[in-house]
Chain A
Amino acid sequence: QSALTQPRSVSGSPGQSVTISCTGTSSDVGGYNYVSWYQQHPGKAPKLMIYDVSKRPSGVPDRFSGSKSGNTASLTISGLQAEDEADYYCCSYAGSYTLGVFGGGTKLTVL
């Protein structure tokens, strides 16, 4: 499968909201409600932030939310904080007997 498409970078000021998009096809994002999002700080392992399009694991602030429309999923971070500055990756299930497919990643800068 081809990688999902994410913007290379987004930015926002503290307190603002930003949205990161993740575009795939009907074979992955559009075909299943199984999109997940990961946050990665420099030199660290990724961390699960959103799963099944819009569910938050325990411990993830409710400032993080996910949604999907057609072949595009989105991660919205509201009330931006300095510690939100990181790389964000989306990932989608792509069917049985296949591996999941990641997006190329988006660098979030908190101005």
Chain B
Amino acid sequence: EVQLVESGGGLIQPGGSLRLSCAASGFTVSSNYMSWVRQAPGKGLEWVSVIYSGGSTYYADSVKGRFTISRDNSKNTLYLQMNSLRAEDTAVYYCARATITMIVSWGQGTLVTVSS
């Protein structure tokens, strides 16, 4: 059974950093197209970042230069390093197993709150 379990969310001050983790089971992270998608409170979904099986990475313009997606193949875990956080980054962050055309599996999400 495919499972994605996010962790690392919490309350952080503006300008701070946070690293989200997504532990995967039931499949191999490095062989898949993995993504982070976020949802601000009461708002819609926003694709934040993806990492291809080959290692290429892409980011939404809103986070480019501040967020970094990566993976640890030995731990079968996906990460999102978030730096220079802003109030508008406040959201539930979902880890997702995807193809280039759809999101197949979602984690339960982890809430990031950026506030002083």
List residues of A whose CB falls within 8 A of some B CB: 3, 32, 34, 36, 38, 45-48, 51-52, 89, 91, 93, 97-105
Residues of A within 8 A of B60 (CB): 99
* B106 CB contact (under 8 Å) in A45, A52, A100, A103: A45
Question: Mind listing 27 A-B residue pairs with CB under 8 Å?
Answer: A3-B44, A32-B101, A34-B100, A34-B102, A36-B101, A36-B102, A36-B103, A38-B45, A38-B103, A45-B106, A45-B107, A45-B108, A45-B109, A46-B45, A46-B94, A47-B106, A48-B103, A48-B104, A52-B101, A52-B102, A99-B47, A99-B48, A99-B50, A99-B58, A99-B59, A100-B47, A102-B46
Contact residues on B (Cβ < 8 Å of other chain), bracket: 20 to 34
* B58 CB contact (under 8 Å) in A3, A47, A97: A97
A103 to B100, CA, bound (A): 17
Q: Tally of A-B residue pairs with Cβ under 8 A?
A: 56
A89 to B104, CA, bound (A): 14
List residues of B whose CB falls within 8 A of some A CB: 44-50, 56, 58-60, 94, 100-104, 106-109
